[in-house]
Amino acid sequence: MSRAPASVHTLVWRQIRLPTVVMAALVVLVVRVGVSSYSLSGGARGMIALRPVIENPAVSALYGRVTSLASAGAFVEWKMGMFIALAIAMWAGLMATRVTRASEDDGTWDLLVVSRVGRQPALASTMMVLFEAGVAVGFATSLTLLSGGQRASDSVLYGLAMAGVAWSGVALGLLGSQFFAPRRSASQVALCSVGSLFIVRVLADGSPGNVWLRWLTPFGWLENVGAYHRLVTVWLAPLLALPAAAALLAWRLQRTRDVGAAWRTRADRSRARESLLRTPWRFAWRERWGMLAAWTVGLGVLGLVVGYLTNALVQLCRTDPGYVRLLKHWGFGSMVTGRGFIAEACVLFAVAISFMVAALLVSVGTDSYQGRLDLPLAYGTSRAKWLGSGVVTTVVATVVISMVCALATWIGVVVSGTTMGLRAPLEGMANALTMAPWLIGVSILLIALTPRFSFLVIAMMLTVFYLDAVLGPIMRWPQWLLDGSPFYHLHLVPVVPSNWGATLSLSLIGVAAGLLGLGVFMRRDVGH
C-alpha cells in the first residue's frame, strides 16, 4: 500500500475505532454471559427440557432453528446468535454510511478526492477498514467462545460467519451511500434493508415450508453454517463473497456519479408549509415526525409479533413441566401464563421505548454541536424553551407510542387465540413508562454535559443496565449491582402491582439530574 492510501486507512480507522471497540466489547459480554448461563443451567443435561421449546415454530421464528444444544457454543448460537448478528449488521451499516456518505455530506471526502490519493483508492481504503472492523468483531466472538472452552474449529468458523454478517451490513451501508443522500437517508435504507433481511429469516424459520427463504438472507446463511452442530462450511462462501461483490459494485457506482451526489435524488424544491414553524414546540414535532412514524410502526409490529407468540408459549408451558422449570431457573417463572408473558414482554418494550426516548431527545444536543442552535437562540428563543419543547414532544410521543404498542400487543394476543383484556398490556406499558422520568432527566444531563456523545453514552448505559437486570440474578451477581439497574426495579405488571417505591426514587433521581442538566445547558457554551 502506498503512503497516501495508508493515510486514508489510518484516518478512517480513527473515525470508527471507538464504535468498533464498543461493539466488540458488547459481543464479548453477551457471549461470555451465554457461555456462563449454559453451565449454570446444568449444561447439556439441563438443556433436555428445552427440546420442545426449540422445536416450537414461534420460538424458531424468533431465535432460529437448531438441532442440538449439546455445547455452550450451540446454546449461544441459538439463544443469542441471531440478535448479536442483527446488532452487528446494523452497527456495520451505520459505520459504512458514516465514513462514506457523511464524509461526502460534510465535504471532507472532497479533500481526499482532489488529493493525490484519488477517489477510487480512497473508497477502496475505506472499504478495507470497514471489512477489517467486521473481522475484528468476528474475532472477538471467536476468542470469547474459545476462552469458554468451545471447540476451536467451530468457534473460528462461527466468528468468521459473524464477520460475514458484519460485511453484509457494510455492503448495505456502502450501497445505501451510493443511492441515497444525505447520510440519514442512506442509514435509514441500510437499516431497513438489514431489518427486512432479518424478517426474511424469521419467516424462513417460522414454518418448515419456508426454509428455502434462508438462502436469501445473510442471517439464513449464518444459520446454515451450523456451527457447533452440523458444520456446513460452504455457506461461508455467500456470507463472505456476496458482500465483497456488493462492495465492488458500490466502488464502481461511485465512479459514475458526482462527488457529493447520490443516484437517487429527492425533490429539492417544495412548497413552503409553515404551520409547524411558528413556535419551537411545533418545530420540535416537525423535526421528529419521521422518527416518530418509524418508531410507531416498529414498536407496533414488535407488539403484534410478541402478542401473537403468547398462545404458543402458554400452551407449551401447560404441556411441558421441564420447560417451566427452566423458565423458573432463568428468572422468567411468570411467563407460564398469558398475563405473565405480556408482563415480561412489557419489560422488553421498556428497553425499546428507552432507546426511543434517547433518540428523540438527543437531537437537541445534535443541533447544538452542529451549530444549528446558533440562529434560533440568536433570534429570540431561549435555551429552556428549546430544550423544553424537545422534552415535551418526547413525553407526549412516548406515551402515545407506548399505548399504540400495547394495543398492537393486545391485537396479537387476541389473534393468537388467547383471551385477555386490553387492560393487561395497557397496564404493562404504563408500568414501562414509569422509567421515563429517570431516563429523561439523565438524558438532559448528558446532553448538557456532552452533546456529541450523549446518545452513545445513553445507549451503552441502557444496554449494560438491561443485561445487569436480566443476567445478574441468573449469574448471582451482588445485590448492590442489581439494585443499580433501573430495569431491575420494574415489576412484572399486570401480574404484580407497580414498584411505586422504586418509581418514586428513580423519578427523584431523574428530576435532580434533569434540573442539574437544565442548569448546565443554560450556562454552557453553545457550539462547543
Name the site residues for another protein (rule: CB under 8 A).
Answer: 181-182, 268-274, 277-280, 283, 287, 370-372, 374-382, 523-528
- Cα–Cα dist 174/279, whole Å: 38
Write down the least CB distance from residue 328 to another protein, Å: 51
Q: Which three cell numbers stand for residue 215?
A: 438462502
Which of 389/499 has CB closer to another protein? 389
Write down the least CB distance from residue 378 to another protein, Å: 4
Write down the least CB distance from residue 288 to another protein, Å: 12
Which of 329/385 has CB closer to another protein? 385
CB-based burial of residue 468 (10 Å sphere; 0-12 exposed, 13-18 middle, 19+ buried)? Answer: buried
- Cα–Cα dist 160/139, whole Å: 7
Write down the least CB distance from residue 277 to another protein, Å: 4
Quick one: which of 522, 496, 300 has its CA closest to 411?
Answer: 300
Measured from the Cβ of residue 256, the count of other Cβ atoms closer than 10 Å reads: 8
Which of 229/524 has CB closer to another protein? 524
Which of 42/371 has CB closer to another protein? 371
Write down the least CB distance from residue 365 to another protein, Å: 14
Q: What is the DSSP letter of 261?
A: -
DSSP-derived secondary structure for 316-381: HHHH-HHHHHHHHHTT-GGGGSHHHHHHHHHHHHHHHHHHHHHHHHTHHHHHHHTTTTHHHHHTT-
Which of 105/132 has CB closer to another protein? 105
Which of 273/476 has CB closer to another protein? 273
Write down the least CB distance from residue 257 to another protein, Å: 16
Write down the least CB distance from residue 300 to another protein, Å: 24
Write down the least CB distance from residue 474 to another protein, Å: 46
Rounded to 5 degrees, φ, ψ at 230 are -145, 70
Which of 107/417 has CB closer to another protein? 107
Write down the least CB distance from residue 183 to another protein, Å: 10
Can you point out the beta strands (E) in 278-335? none
Which of 380/501 has CB closer to another protein? 380
Which of 98/214 has CB closer to another protein? 98
Which of 256/275 has CB closer to another protein? 275
Return the C-alpha torsion angle 354, 355, 360, 361, nearest 10: 70
Q: Over the Cα atoms of the chain, what is R_g? A: 24
- Cα–Cα dist 338/309, whole Å: 10
Return the C-alpha torsion angle 219, 223, 224, 230, nearest 10: 170
Write down the least CB distance from residue 20 to another protein, Å: 28
- The Cα-based distances of 504 to 437, 447, 490, 494 in angstroms read 10, 23, 12, 19
- Cα–Cα dist 134/88, whole Å: 8
Q: Which three cell numbers stand for residue 255?
A: 465512479
- Cα–Cα dist 13/108, whole Å: 15
Quick one: which of 174, 196, 186, 187 has its CA closest to 266?
Answer: 186
- Cα–Cα dist 204/217, whole Å: 10
Q: Which three cell numbers stand for residue 185?
A: 437517508
